[in-house]
Structure 1
Amino acid sequence: MKNIIITLIILFSGLGLYAQTLEDYFKIAAENNPGLLSQYKDFEAALQKVPQVSTLPDPSFSFGYFVSPVETRVGPQQARFSLTQMIPWFGTLKAQGDAATLMAEAKYQSFLDAKNKLYFDVSAAYFPLYELKEWIKIEENNIAILESYKTISNSKFKNGNGTLVDVLRVDIMLKEAKTNLAILNKKESPLKAAFNKLLNRVEMQPVVIADSIVVEPVLLDYNKDALAIDHPLLNSIDLKTKASEASERAAIKQGFPKLGLGLDYVSVGERNDMTLVDNGKDVLMPMLTVTLPIFRGKYKAAVKEAQLIQESFLLQKNEIANSLNSNYEMALFDIRQQTDLVSLFDQQIEESRQALNLLFTAYGNSGKDFEEVLRMQQQLLKYDKLKITALSQYRIAMAKLDYITAKK
């Protein structure tokens, strides 16, 4: 019974492992990648800026004690208590709060772009693993075929229907194929490590790779016009521009007077030498303070700074838009190119197999032209590998288009 339970646990663990898809890896990366988590913390930190700049400054409280009491008609002044609250010009706090809020929203858009970029990086690391897995299968199949060719050529040589050169040729190709397979197997470790590090996992943790890739036409939701409408990078620049406009408004208002409301309380002692009305009565004095912003240079500089930053953001937006459009065209070209190559290699593989069958049949009958059989076998091997590479590059190009168009 215990063995059955252990077997079931292993079986279901295996099913869970093989149920993982590229979308599952996207989710794991989004939850664990330290760079992406850092971007989100940056956004959360920016949110904490809002209450800092949109709240009234702290009131000031002062206490003074008269070492030598100041004599007044109603008694000596003994201590003074002062409480003052400065208030910025009307709308200053709101403008500062708007600027901080918009900057936080801009950082969130940067986080979304970082997430899309991470998805592309995961795809760009995933499909080379698919390519490697398929190349290993192809090379293993090639070795098996060459082993059978070696057996046949050996048999024909012993029977006098073949030559020793044929045996040596296939033996040379077999050694080359085994070396290539050994190199491919060694390549898996660095590729797997690079992929797992994007997910913040142990380097050699198993990675489940898809069995096949389907070439699909580019759909209409990859509309180039949508780039300027809802791309996180462009949205981030727009929000930063609005934040700078709010900063400009705040800078203008900071150049206006600030008001201070205060209250002074003076403790007064009683006079013992006479009886007076209000003898020893404490003093309560409301106060109004107004700052005089007569040094205008710093305020003008702050306004000019905000205006120059807005111009900078406008130029950045144009640069990013141009880059996105050019990258869009290149990604679309790559997709179409790899699609055409996959179609071409499918035809080449089919025709090469037909030619190989004909050559092998002729060799079986005559024992001649074994070199042509081997050459055609290597040509077929080349087309098989090129097709897999084209499929891998096709999916990477699709992932790049997803990133450029913010489709994820």
Structure 2
Amino acid sequence: MELAEVTVGAVAHGGHFVARDQGRVIFVRHALPGERVRVALREAAEGDRFWRGDVVEVLESAAARREHFWPVADSLKAYSDGVLPVGGAEFGHIDRSFQRELKQLVLTEQLQRLAGLERVTEVEEVPGESADGLAWRSRTGFAVTPDGRLGMHAHRSHQVVAVQDMPLAVSGIRELSFWDLDFSGLERVEVAAPTSGDGPLVLLAGAKAAANRVAVELPEEVSAAHWDPERSRVSALRGRPWLREEALGREFRVSGDGFWQIHRKAPETLGGAVRGMLEGFLRPGARVADLYAGAGLFSGLLADAVGVTGEVLSVEGSPVTSKDAVRNFDGEPQVLVRPGRVERVLAAAARSGSAGSQLDAVVLDPPRAGAGKNVVRQIVASGPRAVAYVSCDPASFARDVGYFAAAGWQLAELRAFDLYPHTHHLETVALLVPGT
């Protein structure tokens, strides 16, 4: 193991901190600004533009450093045990309030660098969040170790580390008591505990015989299904292979391998922010769109606002989740669910003059990669008076805000939420409007 002794600098996007050693940039994880640390260099080929590493010893600690809540994710503890730290809790050694300050710095820097905007926005704590920032994940996934135990991958590694707990998961997942079961023959185990209060659903990817064997051993209240990710097939082994979620005064059916927000309070938090920003732009009879709509969380909000005389174009690229949306809006003719890539659906609408060609408002909630220049151009061409942009990545968000700005639009309002405590991730909701 090659070591470097460095002084840690500023936070960078992606959960890293910037350090330098003899002129070489090193992106360091599990650090804090101002600390003097020893770093295990994990990706450090001589010809690389920059290196990567993990902190293995703290020589001078920062005031915001805390004892990590999860030993297998603690870099100091993991390296002392001869394994890599698992991913998913890279800020677990940092005081909660300082975590939010770091996320604010990253958002501010990305907006300045990629969109040319000087905007400082507080990262808000989610109302009702536990003080320790634990027990918020309603969905979590596990790998399987060679000896058949639940495990998780180390960051940027194929190494699977056995785990006996997942403190970020809600109690409905943590209390399943399946940590010591034999998962041999399986490749992945995905677990979801819905907000409706129904029992959890466990997806078992791998050999069907192994999935059947494990399903029998799971607690009685748990539904189980065999999952084939490559073919997007989920077949029930026990109970139902889908989940019932409740949010914004509605019920949603979500397939076991479909998309739903991870944080148990994310639907209400993000939905409330979107509703507040678009309140002055939605009216009965309006034509609106929900792009990258998933199972229809924001489509439901829009449908309630525009009423039966309005029109909601709900576009989702995943065939599985788009089918969920069709079921969720059965009997609501104002919601037009269109499966397919957003840019293709919008292009077809523009050619035909159908739903989506001219819009009053848009909710835009793309995946981590963002919407991109072409989708932004299409949205602008449809003539909305407002776009509510929901993002889980500050870099792609800032880039897309820059595209809107280049088209003459303004960032009218911005909120940021700490929906992923103990990680570097955050969620933003922005209101974009045409320039005057």
- The question of a shared fold, defined as TM-score above 0.5 by the shorter chain, is answered with no
Higher strand share: 2
| Structure-2-length-normalised TM-score | 0.17
Higher helix share: 1
The one of the two structures with greater contact order (alpha-carbon pairs below 8 A, sep at least 6) is: 1
| Structure-1-length-normalised TM-score | 0.17
Q: Which has the larger Rg?
A: 1
